[in-house]
Structure formats: C-alpha cells, structure tokens
C-alpha cells in the first residue's frame, strides 16, 4: 500500500515520539561522506528507516519518508518464487587502485562488484586502474558493473565505455544525466552488447517511467526508500517492463531489509542486487546475528530488530537530532498536504 494521503499517515507526534537518530562512521569515504546520519523509528510492523542524504531538499526527502512509513505501518509484500535470500554485489567507492583489495575484503562471497567511476577530480585513467584491479581480484568469472552517477556527457561516456570494455562489463549504470543522453549513448554502444542501466533517471525523475518509454535503458535500478516505498517501486517495475536491480541508498540493516523485501517481490530477478552496503559501515543498529551484511554473497529476506545498546552507542549529537526532527516535521507536512 502506498501512503499517499493524510488519512493514511500516522500522526507526526507518533513518529517524533519514536524517532532515534544515529551517526555511523564509514570505513571508506562514500559520496564524500565519512559519517552516515540515519533516523529510525518503530511502527506497528517493526523498525523502519528514514535516511535521505543531507543535501536533498524536502520535496525529494518526503518520498523517503513515505517509503519509511509504508515499511513501518504496512505489511510487507509476499515473495516471488519463494525467495528467502537475495544475491548481492559488493560496492567499490572511487578509491585508488591500491586500495581495491582492502575495500573488497570486507565483502564475504560477493561474485559481483559495482565500481564507482567518474569521480570529480579523477580521470579515466584512475577509473581504468580501479576496474583493472577489481578484475584481477575477481578473476575471469566475477562480474563487474560500473556506475558514473550521470557525470559524463555522451562523448565522454562513449570514450569511457570503450576504455573499460576490455574488463567485460556486465552493464553501465547512469553514464549520463538526462534521458535523452541515455538514449543516445545506448544507441552508440549497443553494438558492443553492454547494457545501459538507469538509476537517477528513475528515482529522481518526476516521471520515473520516461526512461523506459524513451528506450533509454535496458535495466532499471530501483531503490525502495527514495521511490516512496516497496509498493510504488514494484508498480514502476511492472509498468516499465524492464528487468530491475534493487539497490540501496547507503542504509543501515533496517533500510536494507526494505530493499530485500522489494527484491524478493519482483517478478524476476536476473541480476545480483546492490544491497550489501552495510559492509561500508563501521557499525550497525541491529545485533550481529541479525545484521544484513552478506554471507556467501547473499543476504536474508527478514526484518531485523534494533539493538537499544547500539542505538545509544551511535546516537547523534543533540543538535543533529533536532535537525532531523525538524526535517521529519517538514516532510510529514508535505505528505499530509498530498505533495
């Protein structure tokens, strides 16, 4: 059920009375961050997470709150094909090539690696070195996908894909920013047999189906919380008619569980999912035996319990807690107004 009107919203006080804000360090900088702030609260169905990135405006962050409320207040969907586990990929930030082995050592049994490329201040030579080191570590049987987060123009993307294709890319995620550019680069590299995946063109778009209608992608990257919840993400995948990869938004095990239920409910699941990012954290909010870090390259489909001691250990400073409470208040008002 998609929460999209005031009648279905829990009251603001109900959320604020339960909210806990944590700040968990990362062992490797990711998206320029060394510390991840997350708001958690417990609904009738269990713990849920609200964690839009700090720079996101309220209109975008409100979709994340809608997703968090759905997960905490609505039953989770059933699993397709009886899935109880999800195969996941490792995520490699834009680190120097000599740090690849250190970062990937945190992931247990992942056969697929998503490599971040096109980092500001770096060059294509840096990307090639990072992907080469990843291929050397994975061996011939491992799978490599790259993610540019829309940083290239079409010509840059074409040059980069040619430079990196020798490493047998599974797909290229969001090489360019706009739907029109994605359609152009897809047509240019189609002969190479390398699929184009769309992420930001789905989750940040006013019309998440535009990329499918334009024939601009072969694969959709879907994220439960940013898209407004599991139900809405499933509806987008059904209407788009494209294979989907469920990915995370750098969440704790609570947020990853939301993604795991989404992945389990997809009609088909042909690719490993990007739900192993708990391995980027130096800490979590759930007990170790319930943490959704990968084991043997997979995570279970389950809703973990939050550990009060870990909530306290990672509790954010008072000013940051107030910042998040104010943010929740503003986003809740947008949802109540039907925005």
**Distance between CA 280 and CA 71 in Å, rounded?**
23
The DSSP code sequence of 83-98 is --EEEB-EEE-S--GG
The DSSP code sequence of 211-272 is HHHTT--SEEEE-TTTTTSHHHHHHHHHHHTS-EEEB--S--HHHHHHHHHHHHHSS---S-
The answer to the question of whether 60 is labelled as a binding residue is: no
Give the pairing of strands 298-300 and 20-30.
Answer: unpaired
The answer to the question of whether 282 is labelled as a binding residue is: no
Query: Active site includes 116?
Result: yes
Active-site position among 114, 116, 190, 204:
116
Q: Where are the beta strands (DSSP E) in 108-204?
A: 112-116, 143-147, 169-173, 196-198
Query: Active site includes 204?
Result: no
Active-site position among 114, 190, 204, 223:
223
* H helices present in 56-153, as ranges: 58-73, 100-104, 124-138
Q: Where are the beta strands (DSSP E) in 107-159?
A: 112-116, 143-147
The answer to the question of whether 147 is labelled as a binding residue is: yes
Q: Which helix (H) or strand (E) holds 34?
A: strand 33-43
**Distance between CA 112 and CA 70 in Å, rounded?**
30
Annotated binding site: 147, 173, 199
Annotated binding site for Mg(2+): 147, 173, 199
Q: Catalogue the active-site residues.
A: 116, 223
């Amino acid at each position: 059920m998609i929460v999209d009107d005031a009648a279905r919203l829990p009251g603001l006080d109900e959320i604020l009375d339960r909210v806990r804000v944590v700040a968990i360090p990362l062992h490797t900088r990711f998206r320029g961050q060394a510390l991840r702030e997350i708001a958690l609260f417990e609904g009738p169905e269990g713990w849920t997470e609200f964690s839009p990135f700090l720079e996101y405006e309220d209109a975008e962050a409100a979709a994340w709150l809608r997703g968090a409320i759905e997960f905490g207040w609505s039953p989770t969907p059933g699993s397709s094909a009886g899935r109880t586990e999800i195969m996941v990929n490792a995520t490699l930030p834009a680190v120097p090539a000599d740090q690849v082995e250190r970062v990937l050592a945190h992931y247990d049994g992942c056969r697929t690696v998503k490599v971040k490329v096109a980092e500001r201040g770096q060059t294509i030579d840096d990307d090639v070195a990072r992907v080469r080191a990843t291929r050397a570590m994975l061996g011939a049987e491992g799978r490599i996908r790259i993610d540019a987060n829309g940083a290239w123009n079409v010509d840059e993307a074409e040059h980069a894909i040619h430079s990196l294709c020798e490493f047998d890319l599974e797909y290229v995620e969001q090489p360019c920013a706009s739907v029109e550019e994605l359609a152009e680069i897809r047509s240019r590299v189609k002969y190479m047999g390398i699929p184009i995946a769309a992420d930001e063109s789905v989750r940040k778009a006013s019309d998440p189906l535009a990329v499918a209608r334009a024939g601009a992608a072969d694969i959709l990257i879907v994220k439960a919380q940013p898209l407004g919840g599991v139900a809405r993400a499933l509806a987008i995948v059904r209407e788009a008619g494209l294979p989907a990869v469920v990915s995370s938004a750098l969440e704790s095990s609570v947020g990853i569980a939301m993604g795991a239920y989404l992945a389990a409910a997809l009609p088909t699941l042909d690719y490993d999912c990007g739900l192993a990012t708990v391995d980027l954290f130096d800490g979590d909010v759930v007990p170790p035996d319930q943490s959704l870090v990968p084991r043997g390259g997979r995570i279970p489909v389950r809703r973990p319990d939050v550990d009060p001691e870990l909530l306290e250990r990672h509790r954010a400073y008072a000013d940051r807690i107030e910042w998040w409470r104010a943010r929740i208040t503003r986003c809740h008002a947008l949802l109540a107004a039907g925005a």
